[in-house]
Amino acid sequence: MKSNRIILGLLAAALCGIGYLGSKIYVDQRLELIDVPVAASVLQPRTLISEDDIVMIKVPKAYLQNSIVLDIKDLIGKYTLIRSQIPQGSFIYDSMVESIEQAKDSPSLLLLPNQVVYALDVDLKMTSGNTLQPFQKIDLYVSILHNRLTVVDRLISNVRILSLKDKNGKELEKATDIPKLMLIALDQDQVSILTKAIELGDLIITPGSNQSLETESILIQDTALLKVLHER
């Protein structure tokens, strides 16, 4: 009888030990802490996320949803959605951010201060046989008939192409795609000048003469075109 009690006691102790170890493993797994990126400050709509916008905190793995972004590399260089504001300290979900390729308003995200997106109707001839590409710099010439004389000169130089689209508004993907619309980054003060020039004359697009020049959308002040445009 005594030996049976000892055996039962050992079995009970073993079961208790197994239960303890099992519960400890379960709890440890539930409380496993991992580093998770959260917003360092309020992220406004259309914020380009950088390392300064993110801080890392430790969170129990069991508390995290699958849609939470866990790798900071998946956030850097992406934009918050136009309809999303991410509070300070908040987790960042997949549905809150997108790459510039995914953004429908991607041309606007590529603008420098004081620039606007300006749309030009183009064809194969105007795009140098479809050899012009996004981010390439172009010069804008205008040909205007004035006092029975044709005035042709460069009006705006070093204009950056933002996008080239076909007649359906889709980005050109193949060399055989026909361009219909060119979106450019234009200085906002030049919108009325270029619009008037296109109404009165013909636009001529050429590859930029100085692709390495950082200054963009430069109005040629000494061109005879400006005098003609002011007189008309």
Measure the CA–CA gap between 159 and 122, rounded to whole angstroms.
15
**Nearest CA to 162 among 185, 179, 139, 137?**
185
Q: Detail the DSSP E strand segments found in 100-210.
A: 115-121, 137-146, 149-165, 181-187, 202-207
153 contacts 168 by C-beta, under 8 angstroms: no
* pLDDT single digits (tens) 82-99: 888 999 999 999 999 999
Identify the pLDDT of residue 5.
54
Identify the pLDDT of residue 28.
47
Identify the pLDDT of residue 24.
46
- Ranges of residues in the chain whose predicted pLDDT is under 70: 1-31
Measure the CA–CA gap between 14 and 46, rounded to whole angstroms.
59
Identify the architecture of domain 33-98 in CATH: Alpha-Beta Complex (3.90)
Residues 6+ apart with CB under 8 A from 99: 77, 78, 79
Measure the CA–CA gap between 161 and 24, rounded to whole angstroms.
61
Identify the pLDDT of residue 107.
87
* pLDDT single digits (tens) 100-118: 888 888 888 989 999 999 9
Measure the CA–CA gap between 68 and 157, rounded to whole angstroms.
45
Q: Where are the domains positioned within the chain?
A: 33-98, 106-231
Q: State pTM to two decimals.
A: 0.72
Identify the pLDDT of residue 169.
85
